[in-house]
Amino acid sequence: RKEVEQDPGPFNVPEGATVAFNCTYSNSASQSFFWYRQDCRKEPKLLMSVYSSGNEDGRFTAQLNRASQYISLLIRDSKLSDSATYLCVVRSGYALNFGKGTSLLVTP
């Protein structure tokens, strides 16, 4: 079983929509949590860290539920430029464990 599981999608949403992604992780001792974004044929880039108290960065809100080992990302007012693959990432020790990503396509 992979350590980080995500729904691969694709999620096709119209501009302006709200979309939510979820992921689950298996290692209860994991220490840090992130969402990375990867554009087509590009490298992954850090989108935001995820904290237990929940955190927001503009249109993006991330939540962590340690008890359920569940992480979420909410994107409000979707833009065309949000089209990408969103990778759920969990750190255990020095290693980052990446989910396989959820693909988002925002359409006009």
Which positions lie near other proteins, rule CB under 8 A?
2, 32, 42-46, 87, 91, 93-101
- In the complex, the smallest distance separating the C-beta of residue 37 from other proteins, rounded to whole angstroms, is 11
- 25 touches 97 (CB < 8 A): yes
- In the complex, the smallest distance separating the C-beta of residue 75 from other proteins, rounded to whole angstroms, is 21
- For residue 99, the tally of other CB atoms under 10 A from its CB is 25
Q: Which residues of 29-66 are buried (b: 16+ CB within 10 A; e: fewer)?
A: ebeebbbbbbeeeeebeebbebeeeeeeeeebbbbbee
- In the complex, the smallest distance separating the C-beta of residue 17 from other proteins, rounded to whole angstroms, is 26
Secondary structure class of 16 (helix, strand, coil): coil
**7 or 76, CB closer to other proteins?**
7
**76 or 97, CB closer to other proteins?**
97
**49 or 72, CB closer to other proteins?**
49
**20 or 46, CB closer to other proteins?**
46
- In the complex, the smallest distance separating the C-beta of residue 99 from other proteins, rounded to whole angstroms, is 7
Pairing of strands 11-14, 102-107: parallel
